[in-house]
Amino acid sequence: MGKILTLHVFVSGKVQGVWYRGWTVKEAAKLNLNGWVRNLLDGRVELLISGPGVAVGKLIKLLWEGPTGAVVTEVTTETVEEKPESGFVQLSTK
């Protein structure tokens, strides 16, 4: 399974209004990751991603691509100790 890695992530660019959160939930589920995704009022998308390091790395690469219509300009990550509940969900805008 590998070491569990948890990242706090911010994605910038044209990432709202393009189904980015729904797409992220779908991709995270395929990788059996835990965490959440939500829009921020400043136009970014925020995520907490947790799972085996290899799977987390795959999702980070996918976040740069995003769904059709997204234009990602920046993905920032920070390793954190926080552990999300099981599953990957979409939260309300903050």
pLDDT at residue 2, as a whole number: 74
Positions marked active-site: 21, 39
Tell me the pLDDT band of 1, cut-offs 50, 70 and 90: low
Residues 13-35, mean pLDDT to the nearest whole number: 98
Q: Is residue 51 part of a domain?
A: yes
User: Considering the domain boundaries, does residue 93 fall inside one?
Assistant: no
Residue 84 DSSP class: P
Tell me, what's the pLDDT at 92? 95
Is 10 inside any structural domain? Answer: no
* CA 64 – CA 85 distance, rounded (Å): 25
Give the structural domain span for 78. Answer: 32-85
Kindly state the average pLDDT of the residues 68-80: 98
Query: Which strand (E) or helix (H) includes residue 51?
Result: strand 45-52
Which pTM value belongs to this model? 0.95
pLDDT above 70 (res 54): yes
